[in-house]
Structure 1
Amino acid sequence: MKFLKSLKPLMLVVALFGSLGITQQVLAKDKFIFANSSPYDTLDPHVIYDVGRVASRLNLYDGLLRWLDNPPKLEPWLAESYDISADGLKYTFVLREGSTFHDGTPVEAKDVVYSIERILALKKGAFSLFSKSIAPGSTKALDARTVEFNLNEPSSIFLATVPAIHVVNSDLVKSKEVDGDWGGVWLSKNEAGSGSFELTRYDPAIGFQAKRYADHFMGWGDKYLDEIEFRTVVEINSRVLGLLNGDFHGTDGYLPQDQVKRLAASDNVYVMEEESMRIFYSIIHNGRKPFDDVNLRKAISYSFDYDAFIDNILSGSVARNPVPLPNNIWGAPEGVGGYTYDLEKAKEFLTKVKQPIPEITLGALAGYGQTEQAAALLQNGLNKIG
């Protein structure tokens, strides 16, 4: 079953960043503290690929391209230019001059090659984006500043996935490898990037701190932060109170609407609401019993009160998404009705389930109040159909 929506995420963050969210307007002079709802249990940029831990990847590392602004535009980053062959199989990127890792060594094509090979070898994080299009060993460093990707088949989305190749310092990571682990143990607790901030402290139970990398190739201008801290604060009330009291300068927008309204009423907090491509959905493993029966999956899907979730729990701040793609993404199908809240249909499909149905446990994400509310709403609907 899926109940999806395009989020207008409230990332409660300082306006200085120009990010989406809720921000505490009284900002410490040169340090930004963000209260995160999920833990930073690893810093490895090729292992993580989720919204909750995106801050470590985007601040400590760079990619060849990067999504910027809203609506998002794909812009050159470590690469100054790229070329696509006529057959769509060869993508050649030229790295900009002057980009360096935090230890001062230059970012080179060999580092890009090592990074994509590492992603393919680890089979984690962004691996699924490249597993079909790029074969191990097919990416080449033509010279120090030129890297060539040779695709298995033409891909209309390849450029859009390139920002997920966060480039690591290959010489440094190789020096930390143990028993062929691609430096995994070391990189889970340290960093080897060229990003705008460099790591100063990390504790998986607390979060991470970083300082401004003064030599970042994009420059800084006259307005910048010297330090950032992303702190794990799972408890919702602690994040809200910390923001109101000025202990934190930002948090994400996955908060119950009553808490969002509470923050919006404060003179010191700014709630930024912008359209995004984030979706909210529940996951059912259709390869496991009893969910391998399509009738049970349909019964569950008709048992969720979509309108109540959107209009009452989320105060109409989202749009219904009937398919697993954001409404505003290229290629999203139009005119798909999706499931509705219909208990009679749910009961009808439930009677068609042949196998015994054991007790079902609904899981919610710790620190994400909206997922707990959604689980309770689904539980209510399922109880009504027996």
Structure 2
Amino acid sequence: MKKIGILLTLFMFLFSGSVLAAPKAGGTFVFGRGGDSVGLDPAYETDGNSFMVCDNIFEALVAYKDESTALEPGLAESWDIAADGLTYTFHLRKGVKFHDGTPFNANAVVFSIGRMMKEKNVKFIGKGYEIPAQDRTPEYWASMEMDGTIGSIEAIDEYTVVFKLKRVEAPFLANMGMDFADIISPTAFLSNPKEFLRKPVGTGPFKFVSWVKDDKIVLEKFKEYWDKTGGPYFDRVIFRAIPENSVRFLELKTGSINVCQFPNPADIPMAKNDPNLQLISQPGMNVGYLSFNHTKEPWKSNLHLRKAVAHALNRKAIVDNIYQGMGQVAKNPIPPTMWGYNESIPGYAFDVELAKQELEKAGFKDGKDLGEITLWSMPVPRPYNPEGLKVGVAMISNLAKIGIQARIVSYDWGTYLKKQREQPDDMDLFQLGWTGDNGDPDNFLAVLFDGLASPSIRTQWHNAEYHDLMIKGKITIDQAERTKIYERALQVIFDEVGTIPIAHSTVIWPTTKNVMNFKLHPTGSVRLKNVSFK
């Protein structure tokens, strides 16, 4: 009887604990972030502040598991791949609705992906839709050379879609889980294509309500969401734009927001010691970098000048003083946790005398005849760079020590991205970075640096050997062989100083203590379906 009593007591304790820890339905969750979204049409945006909202409104055919880039079914419950690797057949979920009440089906998939194709080789079942001309280039699609990958898309029946590829594409399936491949409501888009980016309609756990620019975006629970396992639990989700890191952290401490994205590194110890807060962390699958305007001389052809800049930067001091223990100096422009990383690359040594020698070889001894250059610096904190303007100030101080005079240029985030993409003549150096989308090196190395692949590549670095390696990496299936390809590509980008990797950050976001099941994802996604209050 004594043993039974002990077991009963233990059972009651565990039961009560599980009740206490159970997710609570309802409430309003407020996400405090460093900047506003640029737009909410996932086919046309490239920034994390846009995608984090899209992550909760839209879904793709495949999905990444929690805290991983391993794939799992999304809007497609299964798929088949032909033996030759050129045909992918997706079997879609039934009974899924868009937020506007229209049904999700094969035609919606053909429309959503087909609208990004330059040559729309698509086939609907039945009447289908007329795909309007694009107002702007779908940047992700173009930078990933998807027009060179996908040959045709066809709806076989209401719940079966076949993609036929022009070439074997090793990362194709992983790519189809990315935000640009999200499935949208054709009906909502066609009712006003120009306004869809401000009035998005998807199948996700939350639906769009309103957007006050540079202030807040409001979503609400989609009660007819197809996945009945878990949430969504919150009635409403609000994404608030609070540009100042310190102000955002103060709002967290007072309980005005539930998550503080990108706190100042100095605020982390305070958060750790606050009984009302908890820290959520993950090693970042990211890189922050400084690059050159490769469309402009002397940066385009003067390797010695690029080397001078690389050796002038005290990247360790930047990481120590600005990242403050939340980052590591980068040697490769992919993180060390990713396969394909080249361990033999030493990184650019901070060496003022060597930098001066390279500057003299470049024909600009002590900076003479170079003139004042511009260094574009990001106005918002990002996962790979906590304070872009401070990093920029440190960099121009470093450059001054070898005789290069530079000044900071910055804009609001949307303008910065738009202007930088245009490679303006008044831009010499620029800061940007990347959080990986799918765990494949191609998603860093091809998308960021292969300027020969597309004018949408932001660095516009042109190198024939590198371009050939990127193509080989895509069409090679064996991962061991792909690893060798990417190791060589990393050596080329190091030798030619195509870009200067600065840091990989550790992502740490504090939340209020009552937040349950909030997880950071390697891709930077913010997925709130299963998050709740305790």
TM-score, normalization by structure 2:
0.62
Contact 2:149 2:169 in 1 (8 A): no
Contact 2:221 2:232 in 1 (8 A): no
Where in structure 2 are the equivalents of 1:79-228 lying within 5 Å?
79-120=76-117, 121=134, 122-127=136-141, 128-135=143-150, 138-164=152-178, 165-176=181-192, 183=193, 185-221=194-230, 224-228=233-237
**Matched residue of 2:144: which SS?**
helix
Cα distance in structure 1, aligned partners of 2:25 and 2:233: 12
Is 1:367 equivalent to 2:376 in the alignment?
no
Q: Which of 254, 275, 281 lines up with 1:273 in the alignment?
A: 281
Q: CA deviation at 1:349?
A: 0.7
**Matched residue of 1:163: which SS?**
coil
Cα distance in structure 2, aligned partners of 1:266 and 1:290: 51
Where in structure 2 are the equivalents of 1:368-383 lying within 5 Å?
368=381, 369-383=386-400
Q: Deviations over 1:253-304 (max 9, x none)?
A: 2x43213333333222222221131211122222212322221111111111
Contact 1:202 1:209 in 2 (8 A): yes
Structure exhibiting the larger radius of gyration computed from Cα positions: 2
Q: CA deviation at 1:125?
A: 4.0
**Matched residue of 2:348: which SS?**
coil
1:316 aligned partner, one-letter code: G
| Equivalent residue, structure 2, for 1:19 | none
| Equivalent residue, structure 2, for 1:315 | 324
**Matched residue of 1:263: which SS?**
helix
Cα distance in structure 1, aligned partners of 2:232 and 2:201: 26
Q: CA deviation at 1:50?
A: 2.0
Cα distance in structure 2, aligned partners of 1:86 and 1:334: 34
Q: CA deviation at 1:29?
A: 5.8
Where in structure 2 are the equivalents of 1:71-82 lying within 5 Å?
71-82=68-79
Q: CA deviation at 1:86?
A: 1.1
Q: CA deviation at 1:360?
A: 1.8
Higher mean displacement: 304-313 or 69-78: 304-313
Q: Deviations over 1:12-53 (max 9, x none)?
A: xxxxxxxxxxxxxxx996111111212123221211122222
Q: CA deviation at 1:130?
A: 4.5
Unaligned runs of 5+ residues in structure 1 are 1-26, 177-182
| Equivalent residue, structure 1, for 2:314 | 305
Higher helix proportion (structure 1 or 2): 2
Higher mean displacement: 113-122 or 271-280: 113-122
Contact 2:38 2:49 in 1 (8 A): no
Cα distance in structure 2, aligned partners of 1:245 and 1:30: 17
Alpha-carbon RMSD: 2.1
Q: Deviations over 1:296-344 (max 9, x none)?
A: 1111111111222233432333233322222222333332212121111
Cα distance in structure 2, aligned partners of 1:77 and 1:379: 46
Contact 1:60 1:196 in 2 (8 A): yes
Contact 1:47 1:124 in 2 (8 A): yes
Cα distance in structure 2, aligned partners of 1:51 and 1:305: 27
Shift of the 339–309 alpha-carbon distance from structure 1 to 2, 3 Å rule, reads same
Higher mean displacement: 264-273 or 105-114: 264-273
| Equivalent residue, structure 2, for 1:50 | 47
Contact 1:296 1:349 in 2 (8 A): yes
Cα distance in structure 2, aligned partners of 1:196 and 1:366: 31
Cα distance in structure 1, aligned partners of 2:57 and 2:38: 15
| Equivalent residue, structure 2, for 1:385 | 402
| Equivalent residue, structure 2, for 1:354 | 363
Contact 2:38 2:47 in 1 (8 A): no
Q: CA deviation at 1:135?
A: 4.5
Q: CA deviation at 1:57?
A: 1.2
Shift of the 372–63 alpha-carbon distance from structure 1 to 2, 3 Å rule, reads same
Contact 2:26 2:233 in 1 (8 A): no
2:69 aligned partner, one-letter code: P
Cα distance in structure 1, aligned partners of 2:59 and 2:68: 20
Is 1:260 equivalent to 2:265 in the alignment?
no
2:394 aligned partner, one-letter code: L
Contact 1:133 1:155 in 2 (8 A): no
Higher relative contact order (CA 8 A, sep 6+): 1
1:364 aligned partner, one-letter code: S
1:174 aligned partner, one-letter code: L
Unaligned runs of 5+ residues in structure 2 are 1-23, 118-133, 404-534
Contact 1:38 1:53 in 2 (8 A): no
Cα distance in structure 2, aligned partners of 1:318 and 1:97: 44
Contact 2:56 2:204 in 1 (8 A): yes
Q: CA deviation at 1:75?
A: 1.2
Contact 1:119 1:126 in 2 (8 A): no
Q: CA deviation at 1:372?
A: 2.1
Contact 2:206 2:232 in 1 (8 A): no
Cα distance in structure 2, aligned partners of 1:332 and 1:153: 25
Q: Which of 293, 296, 299 lines up with 1:285 in the alignment?
A: 293
Shift of the 223–88 alpha-carbon distance from structure 1 to 2, 3 Å rule, reads closer
* Percent of pairs with identical residues: 28
| Equivalent residue, structure 2, for 1:21 | none
Cα distance in structure 1, aligned partners of 2:25 and 2:362: 59
Cα distance in structure 1, aligned partners of 2:66 and 2:389: 31
Q: Which of 310, 318, 334 lines up with 1:325 in the alignment?
A: 334
